[in-house]
Amino acid sequence: DQQVKQNSPSLSVQEGRISILNCDYTNSMFDYFLWYKKYPAEGPTFLISISSIKDKNEDGRFTVFLNKSAKHLSLHIVPSQPGDSAVYFCAASANTGNQFYFGTGTSLTVIP
Amino acid sequence: GAVVSQHPSWVICKSGTSVKIECRSLDFQATTMFWYRQFPKQSLMLMATSNEGSKATYEQGVEKDKFLINHASLTLSTLTVTSAHPEDSSFYICSASSLLWTGGNQPQHFGDGTRLSIL
């Protein structure tokens, strides 16, 4: 059973515009969420995280929003750059042993 | 900081061979290491969690006699795929975290993965 879902397998955005990647989860015990970026044949790289006590966390061009009632989080990238083209995974943890559950990923393509 | 090194990055071997993959935390003590497997266009599937000095905890459906995990030190964990067959071909990724980190929740840090191809 997939506890973390990314329903859009791919997304294309024009350079300079905003990229919005979405993630839904089912386990109400999740209280820590992360986004990872992954290039082909490489391991995921940590991008940004958010704790359930917040609804927004910003780091440069990257902002993560958390809507606990909807069990939904999103990653906003603005402005999008060609180097942002990668697969983005969201992950969630219930902080009961630091096991993370990953979504299936969204492949972002930023068109120059 | 928090660099995880995984070796080898790519290995091709014959069916029936055993293959060892190493995962090292270079600048921190990894009290916990995780091993994932990723099939093309699919999510990262957790195979097992290992705490230093303890036996690994395997996820349901993962054969512990097939995928041997050792985490004998705070900086090294190994995954050995025993008697590998073509269906074991996949991308294997390790990650590490530390219970010694302060400041609340902490992300896992990943190695670059190992592409295993069994002929």
pLDDT at A71: 97
B95 with A43: Cβ contact below 8 A: yes
Q: What residues are paired with B42 via a beta bridge?
A: none
Using CB atoms, pick whichever of A34, A102, A103 lies closest to residue B107: A34
- pLDDT score of A5: 93
State how beta strands A72-77 and A19-25 pair: antiparallel
Question: Stretch B97-101: mean pLDDT, rounded?
Answer: 72
pLDDT digits (tens, 9 = 90+) for B40-97: 777 788 899 998 888 899 998 999 999 999 988 889 999 999 999 999 999 999 999 8
Measuring CA to CA, how many Å separate A78 from each of A19, A44, A107, A112, B109?
7, 21, 16, 14, 25
Chain A hits for B97, CB-CB cut-off 8 Å, are 98
pLDDT score, position B102: 58
Residues of chain A with pLDDT under 50: none
The answer to whether the CB atoms of B49 and A97 lie below 8 A apart is yes
**Residue B18 or B102, more confident:** B18
Contact assessment for residue A13 and residue A106, using Cβ atoms and an 8 Å cutoff: no
Give pLDDT, residue B104: 61
Per-residue pLDDT, averaged over B30-48, amounts to: 86
Share of chain B above pLDDT 70, in %: 92
Contact residues on chain A for B111, CB-CB shorter than 8 A: 43
Chain-wide mean pLDDT for chain B? 88
B108 touches chain A (CB under 8 A): yes
Residue of chain B whose Cα is closest to the Cα of A107: B41
Q: Give the per-residue pLDDT at B108.
A: 84
| pLDDT value for B66 | 95
Report CA A33 to chain centroid distance, whole Å. 8
**pLDDT reported for residue A100:** 83
Instruction: State the pLDDT at residue A93.
Output: 87
Residue with tokens 């400041």: B103
